[in-house]
Amino acid sequence: MGCSNEDYNSYADINKDGWIVPQDALLIGHKVYSVSQEESETWCLEKLNDDTNPCASPTGMESIENQLANISKIISELVEAIK
């Protein structure tokens, strides 16, 4: 679900890329289960208080290059977490 969807909610868009997709849930799972409880709680509170809305930008979304870079970064983090 992206910026053009009326149900889009920037709080559910964890990586603030203008899309609510499964990778947002993967980010939560990775942060909750791969770090200490204190780090996890701090990260969760930061995300809960982050009212950044990427849809408020003039383009409404990051460039394709930035989106692909974000996906690549998340995949790398997941691979490292699995090792």
| Residue 13 pLDDT grade (very low, low, confident, very high; cuts 50, 70, 90) | very high
pTM here? Answer: 0.58
Q: Do 19 and 2 meet the contact criterion of CB atoms below 8 Å apart? A: yes
pLDDT at 83: 72
- In the chain, how many domains are there? 1
| Any domain includes 37 | yes
Beta strands per DSSP E along 5-58: none
Condensed to tens digits (0 to 9), the pLDDT of residues 25-71 reads 888 888 888 888 898 889 889 988 998 888 875 554 556 777 777 78
What the block records as the tokens of 57 is 């930008």
| Any domain includes 75 | yes
Q: Which domain holds residue 46?
A: 22-82
pLDDT at 21: 92
| Any domain includes 12 | no
What the block records as the tokens of 68 is 């692909």
What the block records as the tokens of 66 is 């930035």
| Any domain includes 63 | yes
| Any domain includes 30 | yes
User: What residue type is assigned to position 63 of the chain?
Assistant: S
